[in-house]
A and B are shown apart, each in its own frame.
Chain A
């Protein structure tokens, strides 16, 4: 992508980075200021809101792995990429993102930014960071003339944050409470 650009500059990143920071800070501030309600609407078919979130997050984490592999393929790290790999990357990413939204809404609305222990603190920080990083990634995609490391770096940040979120929530749930629907 950077080969096509005439001028390589990080200037195009300023606005996405700014907006991403706004998203992250807004989520953190809302999570801290809003009094947690303790409850929120649930998705039918699960035994509790917690299990809904656990499985939505697990779905998103699995799609994130698809993201990682398809991104590696798009960048030619796994041999010549098939024609459909771009579509797979885009749509798996969209679904992953949409799966995270109800989880985040429940977290922020019902629970808030928590510093109860290392796990919840890390989870809160990852959560705020994830949506900011995702915003930066999305807003950077259409920009031309960005350095070649931009998208791998941003994608890696988003991926790391999501896996961190999953480890501090769903994985913790599975190993502490058990695997149930």
Chain B
């Protein structure tokens, strides 16, 4: 018995891992590509919305139309912009939805940023980005809540609907042969968070003029436009 102790310890750990993985697979596979936010013990806010969205009659965990594919034209046309700070601070997020096509941008204003694209329908957000980035969440009642997983990190957020000039801005250009992509989140208090990537090297973005979107990057004058619809 004593000599088997260490082996039993290993097997117990393996068994525990197997149980957890099985539970995970069961829970996350139930909703297809769109995992049920309640399945990971999300804050209560995720269950509260979903009622104000148009045509939100389907049960939350069985919405088949919520595949994270930007090409699918959603039946219910959602138009909204939510923006704010992620839970715990450290980064800001903005989600802009035009006719059900959702674009989200999360950035810390220094070097971390992620663009996501997907759908907003039936009170649910389902977006994906590069390198397996995922945003899942719910919206309704003037706010959006959810989780972003990207680059090995996770953020949770509950952000409110905002109106212009607050919102999500993006600028793309080629400056002296370098591909420049900038993203800005303008918050209701007037503050801005932005990151500009020059040939995929991110750095803090200079402030834009929220009225005109004018900004100067590396000496080149660009115009950041409010994000409406799918990214080019």
* Interface positions of A (Cβ within 8 A of B): 35-44, 46-50, 90, 93-94, 97-98, 101-102, 104-105, 109-116, 120, 124, 134-135, 137-139, 141-142, 176-178
Contact = CB atoms under 8 A, between A and B. Distances in A.
Interface in B25-82: 27-28, 35, 37, 39-41, 43
Contact of B152 (A90, A105, A120, A134): A120
Contacts of A37: 24, 28, 35, 134, 149
Contacts of B39: 39, 41
B149 to A, nearest CB: 3
Among B87, B88, B156, chain A packs the most CB atoms within 10 A around the CB of: B88
Given A39-B35, A142-B4, A111 B154 contact: yes
B7 A98 contact: no
Interface of B: 3-7, 9-10, 12-13, 16-17, 20-21, 23-24, 27-28, 35, 37, 39-41, 43, 87-90, 132, 134, 136, 147-149, 151-154, 156
Contact of B6 (A40, A104, A139): A139
A101 B88 contact: no
Nearest to A47: B43
B154 A50 contact: yes
B154 A41 contact: no
B16 A38 contact: no
A35 B129 CA distance: 13
A38 B149 contact: yes
Given A38-B134, A120-B152, A138-B10, 13 more contacts: A36-B132, A37-B28, A39-B28, A39-B37, A39-B136, A39-B149, A41-B23, A42-B41, A104-B17, A110-B154, A116-B152, A120-B153, A178-B88
Sort A-B residue pairs by CB-CB distance and give the 4 closest, nearest first: A114-B152, A38-B149, A42-B41, A138-B6
A101 B20 CA distance: 9
A104 B24 CA distance: 13
B90 A176 contact: yes
B40 A41 contact: yes
Nearest to B35: A39
